[in-house]
Amino acid sequence: MELNGKRIVLGVTGGVAAYKAATLLRGLTGAGAKVQVVMTAAATRFVTPVTFQALSGQPVFVDMWDTRISDNMAHIALSRSADAILVAPATADFLAKTAHGQADDLLSTLVLARNCPLLVAPAMNRQMWENPATRRNVDLLARDGVICLGPDAGAQACGEEGDGRMREPEALLESLIGFFAPKFLTGKKLLLTAGPTFEAIDPVRGITNLSSGRMGYAVARAAAAAGAEVTLVSGPVALPTPPDVTRIDVRSALEMHAEVMRRVKGSDAGTDIFVAIAAVADYRAERISPQKLKKAAGGLPEIRFVENPDILAEVAALPNAPFCVGFAAESENLETYARQKRERKHIPLIVGNLIQEGFGGDENRVILFDDAGSHPLPVAGKAEIARQLIEHIAHLLEKK
């Protein structure tokens, strides 16, 4: 699991979003982290410590003078035992205090005494967030190396709309996982394709496939977490854009081809790695009917198909080609087909997976094929497979 062995202090301060900290806590423990919750007195007005205690399996601390810590140095004991402190929600008051080194309760004191990274997820009314005093405090915190996650824009508990909503627990969890990920690809530009393509036949019909895009999005996420600058050219999928990823939406193979080629060719081509994960349609209708096709009386419609460009093969054939990685989703003869594809497309690495075991599902069994031979990865979720793939790519790049 992504946060196995990580010790996190989860600070909860007094804002309505404190209820979301319970979901965040579940996510953190679910990812393998050991979490110690510390609340401000105001936070206990919104959610009781009992909730966090039950979810973390640890006593919750609120008070500086808690006698459960034998040497009365809760602030030192708690901050020393953490790999990171995450404060979510972080109120305007908490940010102000932290920016100025004020320490008048357990959470602010342990934050001042920390020797580990501090991440904050601000949550407040939009006017409070925009107030020049808060802006100054957020700047000061950034200069001190505090990582600010959010806030997001949207509806607020006060009925107003704007910047100040706490980033959603799932996104905060992802940011924290990204924060701890080894930075294998710092300074590298990675371009990838993901999802299906949709080849129109007429204004309402077309040909597509069942690719969910999840493997591609997992690789985009893992690459960004590994420090790469990631651009994701995506076919139509119902997935949120991973944090710190630039996403370009396309529909057809031709659009995908154009967006990819413009980024790997020409003067501003700076792509180091190209990962082709999209399930690109092999064929498209030669002509897209401008009008909806009508049922032909007494006959079947005739649609002529033409071949789509092979994006991966074309990129791999460029003079200064980036390091190219392909995917081979096969329903049989995985090894033979994957090896053949690697050779035919002249790419250094191909990821093979048997689709009956992985297409659309959560668990994947994949084998990596490169110059050194085949490397089966243990069966795992897409996020884990993506992380291992990124590590393998970084390793091969290092050897180049």
Question: Which among 116, 148, 158, 324 is annotated as catalytic?
Answer: 158
Q: Which residues, other chains included, contact 108 with Cβ-Cβ below 8 Å and sequence gap of 6+?
A: 94, 97, 98, 102
For ligand C5P, the closer of residues 229 and 310 by Cβ is: 310
Site for ligand C5P in 250-269 (CB under 6 A): 253
Q: Which amino acid is at 113?
A: A
Active site residue 116: no
Site for ligand C5P in 285-344 (CB under 6 A): 308-312, 326-328, 341
Contact call for residues 46 and 19 (beta carbons, < 8 A): yes
Helix (H, G, I), strand (E, B) or coil at 371: coil
Instruction: Fill in the per-residue mask, 13 to 52: x = in contact with ligand C5P (CB under 6 A), - = not in contact.
Output: ----------------------------------------
| Beta carbon of residue 249, minimum distance to ligand C5P (angstroms, whole number) | 17
| Beta carbon of residue 309, minimum distance to ligand C5P (angstroms, whole number) | 6
Instruction: Fill in the per-residue mask, 268 to 287: x = in contact with ligand C5P (CB under 6 A), - = not in contact.
Output: --------xxx-x-------
Peptide bond connecting 89 to the previous residue in cis, omega within 30 degrees of 0: yes
Q: Which residues, other chains included, contact 198 with Cβ-Cβ below 8 Å and sequence gap of 6+?
A: 206, 207, 208, 235, 236, 251, 252, 281
Site size toward ligand C5P, by CB under 6 A: 15
For ligand C5P, the closer of residues 85 and 328 by Cβ is: 328
For ligand C5P, the closer of residues 146 and 250 by Cβ is: 250
Radius of gyration of the chain (CA): 25
The token pair at 63 is 């008070």
Instruction: Fill in the per-residue mask, 207 to 246: x = in contact with ligand C5P (CB under 6 A), - = not in contact.
Output: ----------------------------------------
Burial class (CB in 10 A: 0-12, 13-18, 19+), 207: middle
Q: Which amino acid is at 15?
A: G
For ligand C5P, the closer of residues 180 and 337 by Cβ is: 337
Q: Which residues, other chains included, contact 10 with Cβ-Cβ below 8 Å and sequence gap of 6+?
A: 21, 24, 25, 28, 35, 36, 37, 38, 52, 56, 86, 87, 88
| Beta carbon of residue 278, minimum distance to ligand C5P (angstroms, whole number) | 5
For ligand C5P, the closer of residues 51 and 209 by Cβ is: 209
For ligand C5P, the closer of residues 40 and 271 by Cβ is: 271
| Interior/surface letters 71-106, b for 16+ CB within 10 angstroms, e for the rest | eeebbbbbbeebbbbbbbbbbbbbbbbbbeeebebb
| Beta carbon of residue 109, minimum distance to ligand C5P (angstroms, whole number) | 53
The token pair at 311 is 């994006």
φ, ψ for residue 37, nearest 5 deg: -90, 135
| Beta carbon of residue 328, minimum distance to ligand C5P (angstroms, whole number) | 6
Instruction: Fill in the per-residue mask, 185 to 204: x = in contact with ligand C5P (CB under 6 A), - = not in contact.
Output: --------x-----------
For ligand C5P, the closer of residues 17 and 315 by Cβ is: 315
| Beta carbon of residue 275, minimum distance to ligand C5P (angstroms, whole number) | 8
The whole-angstrom separation of Cα 119 and Cα 11 is 10
Site for ligand C5P in 45-64 (CB under 6 A): none
| Beta carbon of residue 270, minimum distance to ligand C5P (angstroms, whole number) | 20
φ, ψ for residue 313, nearest 5 deg: -60, -35
- Which of the 8 DSSP states describes residue 110? H
- Note the residues at the interface with ligand C5P (CB under 6 A): 193, 253, 276-278, 280, 308-312, 326-328, 341
Where in the sequence numbering do the catalytic residues fall? 158
